[in-house]
Every structure is written in structure tokens, then in C-alpha cells.
């Protein structure tokens, strides 16, 4: 064996050992090569929304998170590129449907989202492979997680109020209820004081500046329409984790160009002192918490000792946080979803 090959072999052994020592590190980039495929609905028969996909390109079958983004799914997927690519590097496929011309009422968006999921089951892998993704890459569309940012979470909850489908868990990022920032149009997915009619493991990620009005006078996530409104409505028997990144704002997880729009328009409160490096670190934090939850949710060994500290110990987290959680079994979130019909309310009679 040549000296070069011996050195190369030694280096590979060292790399493997270092990887084992490092273990799971959610805020560092993962080990997977990744790709981003943007599928245009106008060029794709049967697809009702644009669909941005971030996924690993190494051989394997990957868990999927559908991500419904801000303003109820009208924000271009590219606004979340850094966050979603980070998730994909950890072995999670992200599917983000969006369309600027979606209906205003979140309930009217649910059938469109259902059509996207049905289309994906029939056609997505073929489209991805035709767009350069290796044929050895596959998506597990039988066990999915739903994620939502801001009003995207309203659509997510409306979907789960009607069925569990193939959902095994949910991630709510600074969720916002209603149809408008002030809540003047009475179209809500949650009734305060009532719990939702489904039970699934939940990760709730809040931003500390969510309820703070920007110079515009509006808060992007008003206190009475966001965060606690959703967390308190989760089934009391469900496993649930709530993590508040106290120093960041509602739009600080967006890619730099889009986050700067928030600053220029002064629509939302944002961390005015954060450097570009700190904002990039926050995006990695949001992505890292999400992949940690998904990995814990679908762990095959049933041992979450590698993951739970990143959900339950603020000292392990890469930004300042406040957290609360309900995990009666003290172990992995149990992948699954239970659904029951909403109670029918009849008007009181004299």
C-alpha cells in the first residue's frame, strides 16, 4: 500500500472517530449534503401552490416536515432558505408550499394544502429525481410533521382540527391566530379556555419580542392572539415543549434580505442590536430545535438522552431562552396523533 493511501486511510479513521466524539450537535451544520428544489406551480400540472423543497442528497429515506410560512402561506419559500437548509443537513426533508394569491381566510387554505399533500404523494419524488436529486433519495410521506410560522400555524391548526391525517407531531413557531394583525375579523382557530380536539406531540418556539409593537404600532404576534393562546389550547394530556428565545423578534428567523425588510418597514419589533452573525446563529437555533424534536420523535431506539437536553435544558441552548414543558413519561415524544370531533355548541334557549 502506498504511503499516500496509508495517510488517507488514517485520516478517514480520525474523521470517523471525531464524528463519534462530537455526537449530535443541532446548532452546527449536519453531516448531509443538501439541495434546494423550487417547483413552480404554473409549470407543474396539478400542483396548486409553489413548492420549495430542501432535502439531503445522500442515499436514504428521510422524514418530512411540511412548513406553512408567514401570512398564512404567502411568503416566498426563499425567505427561509438558511433555516430550512440547516434542517436538511441534519437529515430532514422540508416541504414549503406557498402562493401569493392564496385566500385570506385560513380555513379556505386548508383544502389547498390538502391538495398539495395529495399531489406530493403521487408525483413529488419523480419531479425531484428529474431535477437532479439522486434516485437513491426517498421521502417518508407516511409519517409527517407539520410546522408553521406566524399565521401559517393558523392553517396548520385548522387542518388538524379536521383530521390527523398522517401527522405524527407539530411545530408551532410564534403562532398567530386570526385573519388580521389586530384580530378585528372574528375568524379564529382557537377559543380561549377550550382545548383543541386533537393530541399530538408539540414543539412551540416563541420569540421574546413577538408581542412588542414595532414602530408601525402593530405587533406581528399580539399577546392575546399568539404563543400562550396556542400552547394553552394544546390537549392537557399531550407531550409539549415551549421554548422562548427571549432576545429575538418575530421575523428574525428570516434570511438576511427578508429580515432587513422587517427593519426597513418597521412593521415588527426586531433585535436592533443583533449582528449578522447573531441573527445567523438564531436561524440555526430555530432549525436546531426543530430537527432535535423530529429526531426525538422518530428515534428507533427509544433512547432520547441525546436529544431531550436540547429541548429541556436552557444551558444546552445556543441563545438565551425561557422554557416550560410537559413530558410525563420523561422520554421521547411518542409519534402519533389522536383526533376526536369537536363538540357541537347549541345556542341557549329561553
pLDDT digits (tens, 9 = 90+) for 236-262: 999 999 999 999 999 999 998 888 887
pLDDT at 16: 39
Q: How is the beta sheet containing 137-149 ordered, strand by strand?
A: 34-39, 50-56, 92-98, 60-68, 137-149, 167-173, 202-207, 240-245, 321-326
Mean pLDDT, to the nearest integer, of 151-156?
Answer: 96
- Residue 107 neighbours by CB distance under 10 Å: 16
C-alpha cell at 159: 387542518
Assess contact for 35 and 132: CB atoms under 8 A.
yes
pLDDT at 17: 39
Mean pLDDT, to the nearest integer, of 40-66?
Answer: 98
pLDDT at 345: 57
Exposure of 118 in the CB half-sphere (CA atoms within 13 A): 9
CATH of 23-339, one of 3.30.1360.120, 3.40.190.10, 3.30.1370.60, 3.40.50.1820: 3.40.50.1820
Distance linking the first and last C-alpha atoms of the chain: 94
What percent of the chain is modeled with pLDDT above 70?
A: 91
Q: What is the pTM of this model?
A: 0.91
Label residue 71 by pLDDT band (50, 70, 90).
confident
Question: What are the angstrom distances between the C-alpha of 233 and each of 102, 192, 195, 240?
Answer: 27, 7, 4, 11
Assess contact for 124 and 64: CB atoms under 8 A.
no
Q: Give the residue with greater pLDDT, 348 vs 218.
A: 218
pLDDT at 8 over 50: no
pLDDT at 328 over 70: yes
C-alpha cell at 7: 495517510
Which residues lie across from 38 on neighbouring strands?
A: 52
pLDDT at 324 over 50: yes
pLDDT at 176: 96
Element (H, E) at 203: strand 202-207
Close Cβ partners of 72 (under 8 Å, ≥ 6 residues apart) = 102, 104, 106, 109, 151, 152, 154, 155
The CA distance from 219 to 250, in Å, is: 9
Amino acid at each position: 500500500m502506498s504511503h499516500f493511501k496509508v495517510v488517507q486511510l488514517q485520516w478517514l479513521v480520525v474523521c470517523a472517530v471525531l464524528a463519534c466524539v462530537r455526537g449530535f450537535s443541532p446548532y452546527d451544520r449536519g453531516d448531509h449534503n443538501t439541495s434546494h428544489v423550487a417547483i413552480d406551480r404554473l409549470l407543474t400540472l396539478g400542483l396548486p401552490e409553489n413548492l420549495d423543497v430542501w432535502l439531503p442528497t445522500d442515499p436514504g429515506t428521510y422524514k418530512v416536515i411540511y412548513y406553512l410560512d408567514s401570512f398564512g402561506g404567502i411568503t416566498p419559500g426563499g425567505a427561509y432558505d438558511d433555516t430550512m437548509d440547516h434542517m436538511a443537513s441534519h437529515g430532514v426533508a422540508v416541504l414549503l408550499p406557498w402562493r401569493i394569491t392564496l385566500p385570506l381566510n385560513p380555513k379556505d387554505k386548508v383544502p389547498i394544502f390538502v391538495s398539495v399533500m395529495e399531489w406530493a404523494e403521487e408525483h413529488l419524488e419523480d419531479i425531484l429525481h428529474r431535477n437532479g436529486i439522486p434516485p437513491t433519495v426517498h421521502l417518508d410521506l407516511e409519517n409527517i410533521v407539520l410546522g408553521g410560522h406566524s399565521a401559517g400555524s393558523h392553517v396548520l391548526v385548522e387542518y388538524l382540527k379536521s383530521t390527523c391525517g398522517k401527522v405524527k407531531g407539530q411545530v408551532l413557531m410564534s403562532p398567530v391566530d386570526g385573519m388580521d394583525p389586530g384580530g378585528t375579523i372574528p375568524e379564529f382557530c382557537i377559543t380561549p379556555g377550550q382545548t383543541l380536539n386533537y393530541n399530538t406531540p408539540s414543539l412551540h418556539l416563541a420569540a421574546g419580542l413577538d408581542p412588542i409593537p414595532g414602530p408601525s404600532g402593530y405587533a406581528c404576534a399580539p399577546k392575546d392572539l399568539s404563543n400562550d393562546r396556542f400552547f394553552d389550547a394544546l390537549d392537557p394530556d399531550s407531550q409539549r415543549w415551549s421554548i422562548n428565545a427571549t432576545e429575538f423578534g418575530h421575523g428574525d428567523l428570516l434570511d438576511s434580505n427578508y429580515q432587513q425588510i422587517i427593519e426597513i418597514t418597521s412593521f415588527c419589533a426586531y433585535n436592533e442590536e443583533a449582528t449578522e452573525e447573531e441573527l445567523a446563529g438564531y436561524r440555526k437555533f430555530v432549525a436546531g430545535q426543530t430537527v432535535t424534536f423530529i429526531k426525538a420523535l422518530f428515534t428507533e431506539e427509544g433512547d432520547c438522552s441525546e436529544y431531550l437536553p436540547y429541548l429541556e435544558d436552557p444551558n444546552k441552548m445556543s441563545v438565551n431562552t425561557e422554557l416550560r414543558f410537559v413530558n410525563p413519561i420523561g422520554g421521547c415524544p411518542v409519534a402519533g396523533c389522536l383526533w376526536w370531533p369537536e363538540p357541537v355548541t347549541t345556542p341557549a334557549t329561553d
